[in-house]
């Protein structure tokens, strides 16, 4: 690992001030010299591997603002402070009672040790696990813009089939983000430009020609909270994660589903798909296909077809298309049958 400076700002404004260098305006946070660290389970790993090379780390764990560590629940929202640990949120009874999807997306992620360490803000910003990205001797457009993409013709079983570009097919692996995008969460950010609220769907960027730019954040912007609106759909919600082993593995395919039903008819479905796309993936076409219809095997299958209509497989990941579809069908039917 390369040597780096390590500092611990004690307020959000101090953190922003320390991060506000000239370059912060021009480069993505993951390429900046100064980077934030929270649980470190993603960033420290990539620093050891030489993938991330910040010269200066700002540790957010000393920030004094209490709201950063709180979960506030009320009738129409849940607000998570950015430094809340995954484990705390997963084990929070109110969160589970009001919206099982949120709790399960965290509970089925990583391992107990990681969930104790990792923050929610760090979780949604976690970077891909693409094997070629993780190892600096391979060409990788995300790590080294313009160098090529080793995964495209390589071992790409884990890679995405939705939202891919000719430059990058890396999967966004996080689970919590699928819940957040399905539930229309809002990310609260503070930075040199002042505070702003980003709809979750606007946080991550498709790889396009610039897979190195992963989010809409500036390098001096700190996520302070994530707010999730609640509604008629929240309790009838579910996260189904399919993986190679029963725990401690990323999703091969997952589905975040929340349903607003009128008897057996779908008033509004909220659907996101994990493990199959380059960014947190809202399946609007599937939602549209279900709206106003009875939810049964047939309509669920039609929704799944719609969700994967634009899928682009590579050599080893074509199975993700049928798997993703069936995951969604199963998740929809299981959510329909939930007793709430």
Taking the complex as a whole, how short is the minimal distance between the CB of residue 141 and ligand SF4, in angstroms?
Answer: 4
196 half-sphere exposure, CB direction, 13 A CA radius:
14
H helices, E strands: number in the chain: 11, 12
- 168 binds ligand SF4, rule: CB under 6 A: yes
Residues between 264 and 293 with contacts to ligand SF4, criterion CB under 6 A: none
For 227, the token pair is: 């707010």
Nearer to ligand FAD, 63 or 271 (CB): 63
CA distance 77 to 33: 36
Q: Residue 151: name the closest of 137, 173, 174, 131 by CA.
A: 131
Find all residues with CB under 8 Å of 66, minimum gap 6, and list them. Answer: none
Nearer to ligand SF4, 143 or 336 (CB): 143
Q: Checking DSSP bridges between strand 222-229 and strand 77-81, what pairing results, if any? A: antiparallel
Q: Which does 140 bind (CB under 5 to 8 A by kind): another protein, ligand FAD, ligand SF4, none?
A: ligand SF4
- 141 binds ligand SF4, rule: CB under 6 A: yes
The contact pattern for another protein, residues 105-144, with x = CB under 8 A and - = no contact, is ------------------------x-xx-xxxx-------
Please give the span between the terminal C-alpha atoms of the chain, in angstroms, as a whole number: 50
Per DSSP, the residues of 47-59 read HHTTS---SEEEE
Q: Which does 128 bind (CB under 5 to 8 A by kind): ligand FAD, ligand SF4, another protein, none?
A: ligand SF4
317 with 157: CB under 8 angstroms? yes
Residue 328, Cβ density class (10 Å: 0-12 exposed, 13-18 middle, ≥19 buried)? buried
Taking the complex as a whole, how short is the minimal distance between the CB of residue 17 and ligand FAD, in angstroms?
Answer: 15
Q: Which does 135 bind (CB under 5 to 8 A by kind): another protein, ligand FAD, ligand SF4, none?
A: another protein
Q: Which does 110 bind (CB under 5 to 8 A by kind): ligand SF4, ligand FAD, another protein, none?
A: ligand FAD
Residues between 169 and 188 with contacts to ligand SF4, criterion CB under 6 A: 169-170
Nearer to ligand FAD, 245 or 339 (CB): 245
Per DSSP, the residues of 131-192 read TTTSSTTS-BTTTSTTS-BTTTTS--TTS-SBS--SS--PPP--SHHHHHHHTT-EEEEE-T
Q: Which does 211 bind (CB under 5 to 8 A by kind): ligand SF4, another protein, ligand FAD, none?
A: ligand SF4
Q: Footprint of ligand SF4 on this chain (CB under 6 A)?
A: 128, 130, 132-133, 140-142, 149-151, 168-170, 211
Q: Footprint of ligand FAD on this chain (CB under 6 A)?
A: 30, 35-43, 45, 60, 82, 86, 109-110, 114, 117-119, 121-123, 125-126, 173-176, 222-223, 250
């Amino acid at each position: 690992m390369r040597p780096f400076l390590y500092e611990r700002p004690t307020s959000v404004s101090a953190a922003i001030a320390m991060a506000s260098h000239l370059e912060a305006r021009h480069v993505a946070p993951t390429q900046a010299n100064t980077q934030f660290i929270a649980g470190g389970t993603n960033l420290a790993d990539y620093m050891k591997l030489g993938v991330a090379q910040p010269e200066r780390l700002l540790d957010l764990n000393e920030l004094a603002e209490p709201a950063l560590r709180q979960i506030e629940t009320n009738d129409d929202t849940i607000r998570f402070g950015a430094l809340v640990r995954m484990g705390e949120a997963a084990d929070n009874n109110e969160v589970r009672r009001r919206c099982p999807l949120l709790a399960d997306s965290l509970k089925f992620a990583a391992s107990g040790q990681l969930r104790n360490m990792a923050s929610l803000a760090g979780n949604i910003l976690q970077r891909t696990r693409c094997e070629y990205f993780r190892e600096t001797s391979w060409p990788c457009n995300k790590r080294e813009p313009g160098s090529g993409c080793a995964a495209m013709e390589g071992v790409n079983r884990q890679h995405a089939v939705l939202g891919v570009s000719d430059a990058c097919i890396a999967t966004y692996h996080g689970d919590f983000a699928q819940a957040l995008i399905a539930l229309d969460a809002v990310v609260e950010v503070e930075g040199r430009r002042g505070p702003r609220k980003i709809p979750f769907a606007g946080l991550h960027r498709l790889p396009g020609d610039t897979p190195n730019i992963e989010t809409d954040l500036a390098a001096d912007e700190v996520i302070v909270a994530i707010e999730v609106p609640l509604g008629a759909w929240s309790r009838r919600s579910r996260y189904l994660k399919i993986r190679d082993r029963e725990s401690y593995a990323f999703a091969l395919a997952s589905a975040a589903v929340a349903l607003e039903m009128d008897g057996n008819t779908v008033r509004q479905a909220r659907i996101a798909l994990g493990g199959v796309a380059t960014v947190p993936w809202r399946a609007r076409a599937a939602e549209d296909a279900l709206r106003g219809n009875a939810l049964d095997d047939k309509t669920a299958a039609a929704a799944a077809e719609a969700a994967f209509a634009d899928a682009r497989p590579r050599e080893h990941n074509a199975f993700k298309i049928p798997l993703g579809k069936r995951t969604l069908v199963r998740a929809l039917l299981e959510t329909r049958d939930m007793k709430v």
